[in-house]
Chains A and B, each alone.
Chain A
């Protein structure tokens, strides 16, 4: 007895495996004409979003490789990046040197936070995602303690424009005028009316190449092994805990760099809010691109950014034209972002169960033949 899929089953499986991207294609197909935006506008917006978000989302790939699911703890890296940006704004270092210095400052902080996060996730095997999610909240408390109370009295801040009127703590918004679009405008090319920030794309491409190369290294292969089965990997002599911690450290450091790139494009830092949403949006975008909790690649990143942000751009306007309320479209896109994560998580868990059942059936069939 063999369990072979028929053609109809295969089509169904393709649909089931790509439910989320297909759903999004449909939403966008309805939304774009409704919004009435021109193709030119949409393309330039999408390019801006690609520049902003790709680096952050690529940082999620490595923990998925190591079987630790979606790293909601990437907010830790985002916080480290923001601390770096606060320092360079205080010291008044502008342009590319400022960005590089911010990255240099963020690196040790990210490494420390990532190491700590990895340690905790090793204590919570099997529920890494919810734990990393709570770690994000917890560190937000510590971040507020440092930035809102520590900066000024403990950590010297000279620039009065950064500090709250009461004398300590950083203001709610920090103007990043010094590094605003520093990287984007380094090599700016225009195709038609659409500006293309080549330097940022080169950096993103380098990161993608790094991830591809990394998967082939000894460490990358170890991570894949750990991700597939921790016990087997341990038996094969791979230091499981260590490997998992390294994957989180790499992810956190890249998230920090990603946050700096993201904020140089936006130009202002919402000191107490910017990092909180970034985890959710990055995860949602990656899942929209067809990634799952267990499997993600670079194609998912770019497809995800394009589809997710297309929905994000068109939905307020579409809501306004359809029902007369832009607010409705805004709530709709929030709902869709959360809904997508929910659906992907549910589908992943159900698929895992189904695969286990299928493996059981195959095993039973094999044993029947033997007997």
Chain B
């Protein structure tokens, strides 16, 4: 009797949390348990995981507005990243050293994000129902277009351009001396020599997460959710569906731009050319691992998903390497992340247009 009740409870838990999520969480847990046995320092792993969480979380957060307004998963994240890269390169061109350059980069990327996001939003309004495939290719073609631009744009800061020709940006640009660890070192708490908590970066994410959360509870935010769950009903109740959708796309694009800047300040390099090409997939699968679906996402999904995904990405190489002396982490990452996207795409969802 008791067993049956426990089983029912367990089944309800599995259904609400989702089987793939449980498998992934258990996998990550087992990695953390195996880590000391394999001789991997748990403190370092945990601090790496936290660090990568902070690096990627805002890009994952960028998925939320578009999912809410029914535009689906933002496979066009590279467009936002491009805006961020423009902000970063202009900030370096202005050549103000130190963490100030980080805030300048955010300032400079904003107009690009707004303009590109607006255009992207208008485009997606014309292709309702086919957003995801088109978003993917908008991302790809914008990255390819910017490859041409990085060669031609008149940047001149010697840390950025190719040394021998003096024109054309390098493929990777170091942000050392500018905003390297601008957020990582902000209020960082060093618990043990191995375990560092990047407080500033986590607070930065928390700030944005709070803003998005608060926004979704305003009148416009509620309208956005309404558009996502039933566009016809939303229009009947006097909401301008296209305008709300465009707004959500602009928000997603801008968050993507800020997200890549946060990523860069921790990673230490600006990756141009084909760098942003596949950056949408990890963000998409992270939010799906966190429990979001194609038309439903919350801030909690972002936090759980980013932690699980980045945890696996950080832990598998180190643990696997010391256990079986083979680095299969790349394969595991590909299978887990794309498997998760497939799982989400094949779920029956109510708002199919």
When distances are taken between beta carbons in the complex, the residues of chain B under 8 Å from A142 are 335
When distances are taken between beta carbons in the complex, the residues of chain A under 8 Å from B152 are 328
A331 engages B151 (CB within 8 Å):
yes
Chain A proximity mask over B314-353: 1 for CB below 8 Å, otherwise 0: 0000000000001010111011001101100110000010
When distances are taken between beta carbons in the complex, the residues of chain B under 8 Å from A328 are 148, 151-152
A332 contacts B by Cβ under 8 Å: yes
A33 contacts B by Cβ under 8 Å: no
Chief secondary structure at chain B's binding surface: helix
A138 engages B144 (CB within 8 Å):
no
Segment of A95-103, A170-178, A302-310, A343-351 engaged in the interface with chain B: A343-351
Within the assembled complex, what's the spacing in Å between the Cα atoms of A148 and B147?
A: 31
When distances are taken between beta carbons in the complex, the residues of chain B under 8 Å from A144 are 330-331, 334
Q: Which residues of chain A (80-137) have a CB below 8 Å from chain B? A: 120, 123-124, 126-127, 129-131, 133-135, 137
| The residue from B75, B127, B140, B151 contacting A346, defined by CB atoms under 8 A apart | B127
A145 contacts B by Cβ under 8 Å: yes
When distances are taken between beta carbons in the complex, the residues of chain B under 8 Å from A138 are 334-335, 338-339, 342
Q: Which residues of chain B (36-69) have a CB below 8 Å from chain A? A: none
| The residue from B326, B332, B346 contacting A124, defined by CB atoms under 8 A apart | B346
A141 engages B335 (CB within 8 Å):
yes
| The residue from A129, A325, A335 contacting B133, defined by CB atoms under 8 A apart | A129
B234 contacts A by Cβ under 8 Å: no
In the complex, the chain A residue whose C-beta lies closest to that of B137 is: A342
A30 contacts B by Cβ under 8 Å: no
B145 engages A335 (CB within 8 Å):
yes
B148 engages A141 (CB within 8 Å):
no
Instruction: Using C-beta atoms within 8 Å of the partner chain, give the interface range for chain B.
Output: 35 or more
Within the assembled complex, what's the spacing in Å between the Cα atoms of A337 and B128?
A: 23
How many Å from the CB of A292 to the closest CB on chain B?
12
Chief secondary structure at chain A's binding surface: helix
A325 engages B132 (CB within 8 Å):
no
B342 engages A149 (CB within 8 Å):
no
Within the assembled complex, what's the spacing in Å between the Cα atoms of A335 and B152?
A: 15
Within the assembled complex, what's the spacing in Å between the Cα atoms of A228 and B184?
A: 55
B136 engages A133 (CB within 8 Å):
yes
B144 engages A345 (CB within 8 Å):
no
How many Å from the CB of A337 to the closest CB on chain B?
8
Within the assembled complex, what's the spacing in Å between the Cα atoms of A331 and B338?
A: 27
A127 engages B127 (CB within 8 Å):
no
A120 engages B342 (CB within 8 Å):
yes
How many Å from the CB of B173 to the closest CB on chain A?
17
Within the assembled complex, what's the spacing in Å between the Cα atoms of A351 and B11?
A: 46
B345 engages A349 (CB within 8 Å):
no
A325 engages B151 (CB within 8 Å):
yes
Within the assembled complex, what's the spacing in Å between the Cα atoms of A292 and B108?
A: 39
A40 contacts B by Cβ under 8 Å: no
What are 11 A-to-B residue pairs whose CB atoms are below 8 Å?
A129-B133, A130-B132, A134-B341, A134-B345, A137-B334, A138-B335, A328-B152, A345-B127, A345-B133, A346-B134, A349-B126
Nearest 8 A/B pairs, CB to CB: A141-B334, A335-B144, A349-B127, A141-B335, A338-B141, A138-B338, A123-B346, A331-B147
Which residue numbers of A lie inside 8 Å of B, CB to CB? Answer: 120, 123-124, 126-127, 129-131, 133-135, 137-138, 140-142, 144-145, 148-149, 325, 327-328, 331-332, 334-335, 337-339, 341-342, 345-346, 348-350, 353
Given pairs A134-B341, A332-B148, 10 additional interface contacts (CB within 8 A)? A130-B133, A130-B345, A133-B136, A134-B338, A137-B334, A138-B342, A331-B147, A335-B145, A338-B141, A349-B134
